Structure 1
């Protein structure tokens, strides 16, 4: 079984990701609903009501690199 490091900065809540990329707080949920093809398989997951996304998913959906790496 693969272990996932939940402290990895590549994982973040949808709201946190939207803030980092300078988007509206509802950006991720709206993007997943309107353009799910922009999100690579495994780049997001819903845990109860908490949506968790990866940097890879955000970069793919927004077309912008991680702003924290500038």
Structure 2
């Protein structure tokens, strides 16, 4: 079971703030190089994108 309360699951806005990046950086990385994100580390729900800390660490 996935724990949605996990601090390792972040919105793009939260992840960008934590890593000191612009929100557009994360969205652009996902659009241009989706293969850089480990499998299962990012998911889109409509306009909302969730990313794990593992996913962010892989693209920084």
Task: Provide the alpha-carbon RMSD of the alignment.
Answer: 0.8
What TM-score, normalized by structure 1, do the two folds share? 0.80
What does the per-residue CA deviation read over 1:11-30, in whole Å, with 9 as the maximum and x for residues that have no partner? 00011101100001211110
- Is there any run of 5+ residues in structure 2 with no aligned partner, and where? none
Aligned pair count?
Answer: 60
Over alpha carbons, which structure has the higher Rg?
A: 1
Q: Normalized against structure 2, the TM-score is what?
A: 0.92
Equivalent position of 2:48 in the other structure: 50
Identify the structure with the greater helix proportion.
Answer: 2
